[in-house]
Amino acid sequence: SGGNKAYCIGDPVPSITASVGLDETVDWYNAPSGGTLLLMANTTYNPTAPGTYYAEARNTSTNCLSGARTAITVTRDTPSTASIGPNQSIFTGGNAIFTVTTTNADTYQWQVSIDGGVIFNTIVDGTEYAGAQSTSLAVKTADINKNGFRYRVLASRSGSGCPPTASASALLTVKVKTVITNRRITHRVNKS
């Protein structure tokens, strides 16, 4: 029987097996017709890389082909990238937006580190954050205590069974607005 077999990046390439009758054996090829014989007389093949492999069943008594070759495709099944946008710099009380770009992902979970990126904890939506499970995280009305926090996202594809891919982290800088007083006139300066 044909079909697809997926595996996670970091795992070994899985073996593939063709279903045949009791009086049949299988030869494995790299093309739907012709091509290179990869393995002879074995129902299981151990590929070394992802790709499409073709099983050709043969009757063991007559040595006649039992039908057309059956294709089995082996693919990697996990996000290949998770790239976070730039660091953010805001003034106290402002909002910061972090974004991520991924491939082959449909599930997202943002995390925050308050110790410079050593330990990351899961973020939930609420008064401080919005978009904790999307491609954009909003840090709402940040105060000075969030200065130096780092943010990253875990990206995965639902139903894949593979562990999520973590992006690099991005830094949040929160600055205090400066007040300059000159001749009894107060000027508010946005320090950059």
Per-residue 3-state assignment (H helix, E strand, C coil) for 2-21: CEEEEECCCCCCCCEECCCC
Position 18: which residue type? A
Looking at every residue in the chain, the average pLDDT score rounds to 89
How distant is the alpha carbon of residue 25 from its chain centre? 38
Helix (H), strand (E) counts: the chain: 0, 19
Counting beta carbons within 10 angstroms of the beta carbon of residue 123, is it exposed (0 to 12), middle (13 to 18) or buried (19 or more)? buried
pLDDT at residue number 186: 56
Res 188: pLDDT: 60
CA distances from 20 to 4, 5, 24, 55, 141 (A): 17, 18, 6, 10, 64
* Nearest-angstrom CA–CA distance, 173 and 141: 13
Q: Which class for 115: exposed (0-12), middle (13-18), buried (19 or more C-beta within 10 A)?
A: exposed
φ, ψ at 83 (rounded to 5°): -105, 120
pLDDT, position 181: 63
Count of Cβ atoms closer than 10 Å to residue 121 Cβ = 9
Dihedral sign, CA of 126, 132, 133, 136? Answer: positive
- What is the pLDDT averaged over residues 126-130? 97
| Residues in CB range of 62: below 8 A, 6 or more apart | none
Of 38-47, 116-125, 152-161, the range with the lowest mean pLDDT is 152-161
| pLDDT per position as a tens digit, 56-93 | 999 988 888 888 899 999 988 777 689 999 999 999 99
Q: Is 33's pLDDT higher than 90?
A: yes
Contacts with 135 (C-beta within 8 Å, 6 or more apart), sequence order: 99, 100, 101, 102, 108, 153
Q: What pLDDT score was predicted for residue 61?
A: 87
pLDDT at 91: 96
Task: Give the per-residue pLDDT at 5.
Answer: 84
- Residue 30, pLDDT above cutoff 80: yes
